[in-house]
Each structure stands twice: as C-alpha cells, then as structure tokens.
Copies of this chain bind each other. A is one copy, B any other.
C-alpha cells in the first residue's frame, strides 16, 4: 500500500531519498505529493544559500536546523511550486523508483512514558497491579534510548540474544518474547545550549516534525534488567521510524486538546495553549505469512503528556537539545481491548493468545513476522507507514 491519500498538497513532509541511476544517486532531501517523490534541489524555489545547501545533504539535519520562519517560507514556496501539476510531472519520481533512507542523523534518542493506559496495562501484565509510577502525574517520566540503532521503516530487525529468566533458571539465548511498541516521536530542529531550559510556550519552535516509531522490545531480556536502571539490552538492538517527517505546520489543522490533568503540575508544565495535542489516528497490524491482522487502533491525542511537555521536561535540568534528537512518547494505548499498543498488553504478558486473520493463535512475534504501523489525520495529511520484519537471531 502506498498511502497516497496521506500525502496531499496539504502535507508536504520531508524525507531523504536516492535513485539507483541518474542524477540522484546521492541521498538528498525530498518531499512527497501523492505517489510522486520530488527532490527539492530540482525545483527553483528562491531560497537562501543555506537552505539550498541543506537540500543536497544526505540527512534532514541541516534543513531542520533552519529557523521556523524560514522553514515556513520554504513550505509556502514548495506548496506553490508543486501546485503546478506540470512541475510535479517534470520532477516527480515514482515512489517505487526511489530508495527512502533514515531521514535524520539521530543525535540523542529519549523515550518517555506519555500514555496512562499503557502504563496501567503494562503494570498489570508484569506485576499484576494497575499502579502509576511515582512520577507519572508530575511530569513525563523518560529514559535515554540508544540512538545508534534507529533505522528507517523497511529495515529488517534481528531477534536479539540476551539473558533472561526461563522459569526458575536464568538462561542465555535468543529472546522468546519479541514485542513491538506503537509510538510517536518529535524530531528536534532548533537546538539549545547546555544549561538552558525551554519554556512551554516556546516548545513548538524546537520541533521540526513528527514521525511514527516502533520501539522493538524483547520482554524477557527487559524483564531481568529493568530493576533498578531501566531498559537497555531489551530495547537497544533496534528502533524503527517512518521515512517521512510531517511538520507541525501540516498538523496544525488537526491540533486538539490533551486530556485534563488529574493532579496539579509544577509551573513549568502549566499549558496555556488550548490545543496542545494532535488528532492523529494510529493503527498497528501484525503480518504473518503474507496475511495482515489489525491488532491496535489508537490516537495521539489520548496521551496524558504532549510533545511540548517532552521538550520542556528534557531541558528543565539544563540538558541541551540537539538537531536530530528524537523525543518519543512511549507506547500509545487506549482503554479498549483493541487499543493496546504492544503485545505485552494485548497478550497480558504472553499468557493470553490472540487470534490472527487466518485463525492461528499467537502471543509474541515469530521470526518472519512483520509489524506495520500507520498514522493518519485525514484531510490529506498522514504519515504513511512504519514497517519492519523480524529475522532470526544470530547463532550463539
């Protein structure tokens, strides 16, 4: 599926692509209109030298580091240029004729815990208790992830080896509890200096755009390592993101309220923007033997903490932001049984089987399985998909 209805003239996301022959064998900045991919350097856009140079870079980082106002000007010029169908006809490559690459050089990767439902469900699956962590209602609790293993949608994901509990004993081997996590993430554009903190009202200035993110998780490896330092080897083997970065400008028509705060928060998290979240519909499917089974629907707007909150929390202690940082939401889940954004929740820790489209029963992922996530606002603005297939573990 190409999801061409996600990429109307109202979207114009950014990505990085190359072609196998011709003038674009070097990766460079592209946008997408329906099923056509256009290299920005091919257009006559009347932009600054800095912007023109950014168009030829193999990552979006130089573009993302431009000021919000310059990016908004570029977006208007791009929209104007591509409104002429002859321009698209002349410069557009068919989607199937380009290779899409990891859109950013990932600086840091920070993952937060934004979904109250996920935290309650995951707690129940692991500990049998629906407790919120001590910090959850006070700020978005987060942890540093591993930036070096972030890959673009389509990259195969190798089942990790590790050490885990197997009944009463501790064993070393290939993970037996491979899971996905349906997440969303902000890509940081404008950096900050170490020692500075971003105010909530300025947070959007630092967000270049959003992407889908699959925080692949080996639940057994994670289970043994979590106390007290949090997840590492259970997640550091791979994280997938979608190839298209959708700007906040494209998402503005879908801005919406966030859930009301259930407990008073500190002044640095007092939100004055009426619609600080986004109405973005999410779906996840498992693909086995070529057959797809939808396993989750969710919505970005359900999350207790917003992307703006993440920017503020990340920097409240003076930690800097860098262009190309990823701030992710953690698993996005809802209250319903069809709204669990990972198999840990859906299968209650691997104890309850789900039924796939062909009638087969399943808990965690098998080698060869794929996970496809999609995100769509409607109105011609969506994210396409973020997909990955699982390959067997490296022999011990």
Contact = CB atoms under 8 A, between A and B. Distances in A.
Interface in A203-258: 218, 221, 224-234, 236-238
Contacts of A196: 394
A231 B231 CA distance: 11
Contact of A161 (B146, B318, B322): B318
B230 A230 contact: yes
Given A135-B224, A197-B394, A228-B230, A319 B108 contact: no
A163 interface: yes
A107 B197 CA distance: 23
A307 interface: no
B141 A144 contact: no
Given A134-B224, A143-B143, A317 B230 contact: no
Contacts of A83: none
Contacts of A133: 227-229
A268 interface: yes
Contacts of A314: 236
Contact of A225 (B135, B195, B237): B135
Interface string A120-146: 000000000000011100110111111
Interface string A263-302: 0001110000000000000000000000000000000000
A160 interface: yes
Given A135-B224, A195-B158, A317 B233 contact: yes
Contacts of A148: 107-108, 194, 319-320, 322, 325
Nearest to A317: B160
A237 B314 CA distance: 10
A95 interface: no
A394 B158 CA distance: 44
A316 interface: yes
A31 interface: no
Nearest to A143: B229
B230 A229 contact: yes
B318 A160 contact: yes
Given A133-B227, A228-B226, A228-B230, A320 B143 contact: no
A27 interface: no
Given A142-B232, A228-B230, 16 more contacts: A135-B225, A143-B229, A144-B145, A149-B194, A158-B318, A161-B197, A162-B317, A172-B266, A194-B238, A197-B394, A230-B231, A234-B317, A236-B317, A267-B396, A268-B396, A318-B394
18 contacts: A135-B225, A141-B232, A142-B229, A143-B143, A144-B145, A144-B232, A148-B319, A148-B322, A149-B194, A149-B319, A158-B195, A227-B228, A228-B230, A229-B231, A233-B313, A236-B314, A236-B317, A268-B396
